Amino acid sequence: MRIIFGDGSVLDTGDPESRERFAGTHGKLLGRIAEIAGRTKSNGTLASRIRDKYRMKNTTGYSLNALVDFDDPVEIIEHLMIGSEGTLGFIAEVTYNTVPDLPCKATALILFHDIEAACGAVPALKSCSVDAAELMDRASLRSVEGKEGMPEYLSGLGESVAALLVEARASDPSGLAARVEEIRRALDRFPKVRPLEFTGIPAEYEKLWNIRKGLFPSVGAVRRTGTTVIIEDVAFPLPRLAEASLDLRNLFVRHGYGDAILFGHALEGNLHFVFKQDFNVPSEVGRYGDFIDELTAMVVRKYDGSLKAEHGTGRNMAPFVELEWGAEAYALMKEIKSVFDPENLLNPGVVINDDPGAHLRNLKPLPAAHEIIDKCIECGFCEVQCPSKDLTLTPRQRIVVYREMSRLTASGESSGRLAALGGAYRYEGVETCATDGLCSTACPVGIDTGKMIKHIRWRETGRLPHAVARAFAGNMSAVTAAVSAMLSVVGVSHALLGTSLMRRAALALRGISGNRIPLWNEYMPRGAGRIPPSRGIGGMPSGKVVYFPSCINRAMGASRDYDEEVGLAHKTVALLEKAGYEVLFPENLRDLCCGMAFDSKGFREEGAMKADELNRALREVSNDGELPVYVDMSPCLYRMKETLDRRLRLYEPIEFMLAFFPERLKFRKLPETVAIHTTCSSAKMGLSSRFRDLAEMCAERVVVPDGVGCCGWAGDRGFTFPELNASALAGLRSGIPGECSGGYSTSRTCEIGLSLHSGLSYKSIVYLVDRCTTPGVTA
């Protein structure tokens, strides 16, 4: 663990030299910690109390178990830091101890007549080899019933039914079978609503786990705009879990939170609950305060439970730490805080707070800002998916700032602050958002912050830019031809001047223009040639397919790093013909575009116009969907699936090749290591694992670099805001082994950035499939 303290000092607990340096400069601090730990151990009553509290899950306050479990001051500090929420220092780096993800799993949703019966079965499960047992009350099950992917039988359950979601895991099928049978025998004597059935089929047990995963989003999605969602967790002694669950449910009803849902980790007596709360009305704040007062008293005084079992203490439970731990232990926590942060500068008021009403003050408003984001509860789940997270703002931060600007606009207060936020937001929020939509895949309520950014771009685009966009949209043939010609000129210049001189010239031009001129890089493609008509030949009986080459691939050809001069459109036609297809193109192909390039920049109307034109052309050439339509770029295909006629059978490269090529082409694994990158669009369509399946049909080893999500190229932003692409792919190069022969993806523009920041030539998966296939049938 690498810790940065308030005075700027650094301690790497795993580095002997760092420990020695820290001892030399902070010997007094280490001595104080050793003294506190020794004093605590010698106080038999206090030490016993601490050990007893940690017999169940507990994260309330500081981790006092560190004082009685360890003697080395550095080890004590290391464990005190866990759960301290930035109040003692900052954890800059940590190495996790992980558990194996066993390959064989079986899951069952076990339904009981009421929550008391479900909790009564938990001790029996505790004696078995069970890896998970999740309790869900009827309100929880009701919150997800009728939702997509949920079992139909949830809707017909009685009003008091509760469930345990139980999973067993093992390293081999026989071990799993033994564990399942052990669980069956243990639960045989307990009455159930439905027969006990385990499933080891991944698609089926993932469906069951989606019930549990959908609980929190189900509440967040239905709350009234302006209200928030409260999620808390507590823990009770396992023998009293049933009684405590009933008391919690009665407490919800008594304080007007009857629609709260209750669920948790049954084997640990750890219960979570979620409910909606309005902090905009004083009477509602008072109701919440009364609820928390009674909740904390019940958990501590009646059950001697934990006010926090997994979640941090935060500000909400800080006023009640002393209630749970007692005056002596609380004084110990305050002493620890003073040792590390004597000026109370680090996250003040969190964990340690003597104000009994701190949880009711400085409540964060969630004002209405835009319907796209009004359901956001600012949980931050989205942040890991964002390509700009290490450059400017995350989706959560974009929403937070936009809400504040909306609040300031509505209230009329602090016009200077509003102007400052608006000015900074142009770059930090709008220009560096990739609008890839991956944030929605991690969001509990499915919010796509990119759609809000597109709305802002649309709202702020003036008449003149719209007129220019309309002219471009009406003359796509000329636009793509001009772009292709320009790329060819740039390609010739690159050949004549060399990479080094071209790079310096490009940087100089961009600087002189105030970053208005797009930044050239050595992987910029040359112009594409005219697409040849299909000859309708191949090694198998002919079939027909409609091919829509995107406007990007009609303009962009091969780049200097390619090992052949053939652009993607030409290569795709050749591959489809090798598979025995007659390739058809829509009428007026050179004028067609899916409209994404317009829509992403805020030109909604122009984007819709192009989508409508493409829709008519594809319906005509495919005979209203009778023939499959192959689209060579995943982002374009994703937009087309959103905007075009549902009768059209639209395929992107991964889908099409897996669906049709094995019966038309013979695949052989090349003795190579290749890297693949799943585009945002492909990921949103659930194609990540299928892309790997396809690549593994072509190469002996397939590498997916860890920690690389959206590449941040975002259409043309890799040229106009190259720092976004660079930040998003900062870890790419280190994740690619030296023996990699090439990289593959399904978006021409993404491949430019991937090549630039990996030093490896990335191109369409079409090139790899073409190299490893011959006419015939894969065995």
Measured between alpha carbons, how far apart are the two ends of the chain, in Å? 51
What does the DSSP assignment read for 310-341? Answer: SS--TTTSGGGHHHHH-HHHHHHHHHHHHHH-
Phi and psi dihedrals of 580, rounded to 5?
90, 15
Tokens 């771009």 correspond to: 457
Share of the chain above pLDDT 70, in %: 98
Residue type, 744: Y
User: Residue 210's pLDDT is what?
Assistant: 87
Strand order in the sheet with 10-12: 10-12, 2-4, 90-93
Position 534 scores a pLDDT of 57
Assign 3-class secondary structure to 107-175.
Answer: EEEEEECCHHHHHHCHHHHHCCCCCEEEEECHHHHHHHCCCCCCCHHHHHCCCCCEEEEEEEEECCHHH
pLDDT of residue 540: 44
Half-sphere exposure of residue 276, counting CA atoms within 13 Å on the CB side?
17
What are 203-213's pLDDT values in tens digits?
899 989 988 88
Beta bridge partners of 702: 674
Q: What is the mean pLDDT of residues 6-17?
A: 95
Residue pointed to by tokens 């969602």: 229
Q: What is the mean pLDDT of residues 537-544?
A: 59
Residues 559 and 761: their CA atoms lie apart, in Å, by 9
The amino acid occupying position 650 is L
Q: Which two tokens stand for residue 243?
A: 């009684």
* Portion of the chain with pLDDT greater than 90, in percent: 86
Q: How far is CA 624 from CA 305, 497, 544, 617, in A?
A: 64, 50, 14, 10
CATH superfamily of 104-282: FAD-linked oxidase, cap domain/gating helix (3.40.462.40)
CA gap 767, 751 in Å, rounded: 13
For 432, the 3-state DSSP assignment is coil
Please state the pTM of the whole predicted model: 0.85
Distance CA 451, CA 453 (A): 5
pLDDT at 565 (0 to 100): 84
Answer whether residue 217 shows pLDDT above 80: no
Q: What average pLDDT score do residues 697-715 get?
A: 94
Look at residue 493 and tell me whether its pLDDT is greater than 90. Answer: yes
Per-residue pLDDT tens digits for 642-689: 999 999 999 999 999 999 999 999 999 999 999 999 999 999 999 999
> Residue 444 — pLDDT band, cuts 50, 70, 90?
confident
- Mapping DSSP to helix (H, G, I), strand (E, B) and coil, where does residue 101 land? coil
Q: Could you tell me which CATH number the domain at 662-775 has?
A: 3.40.50
pLDDT in tens, 110-137: 999 999 999 999 999 999 999 999 999 9
Cα(120)–Cα(193) distance, rounded to whole angstroms? 15
Q: What pLDDT is stored for residue 1 in this prediction?
A: 95
- pLDDT tier at 109 (50, 70, 90 boundaries)? very high
Distance CA 34, CA 145 (A): 54
349-372 exposure pattern, b = at least 16 Cβ within 10 A, e = fewer: bbbbbeeeebbbeeeeebeebeeb
Whether the pLDDT of residue 779 is over 90: the answer is no
| pLDDT (0 to 100) of residue 221 | 76
* Amino acid letter, residue 583: V
CA dihedral sign of residues 328, 331, 332, 333: positive
User: 131-140, 214-223, 571-580, 735-744: lowest mean pLDDT where?
Assistant: 214-223
pLDDT over threshold 70, residue 479: yes
Pick the more confident residue, 364 or 553.
Answer: 553
Residue ranges of domains in the chain: 1-85+312-346, 104-282, 383-460, 477-555+565-651, 662-775
Q: Is the pLDDT of residue 327 over 90?
A: yes
Integer angstrom CA distances of residue 384 from 82, 388, 709: 21, 10, 9
- Average pLDDT over the chain reads 93
Confidence tier at 537 by pLDDT (50, 70, 90): very low
CA distance 444 to 308: 22
Residue with tokens 């009004």: 374
**59-100 pLDDT, tens digit each:** 999 999 999 999 999 999 999 999 999 999 999 999 999 999
C-alpha span between 734 and 23 (Å, rounded): 34
Tell me what the mean pLDDT of segment 12-40 comes to.
96
Amino acid at 626: E
Note whether 443 and 386 are within 8 A (CB): no
pLDDT confidence of residue 374: 92
Specify the pLDDT at position 538: 45
> Is it the case that residue 270 has pLDDT exceeding 70?
yes
Q: What is the pLDDT of residues 374-426, one digit of tens each?
A: 989 888 999 999 999 999 999 999 999 999 999 999 999 888 999 999 999 99
* CA distances for 596 relative to 122, 452, 456, 466, 472, angstroms: 53, 16, 16, 15, 13
CA distance 457 to 530: 34
The pLDDT confidence band at residue 536, using thresholds 50, 70 and 90, is very low
The average pLDDT across 610-621 equals: 97
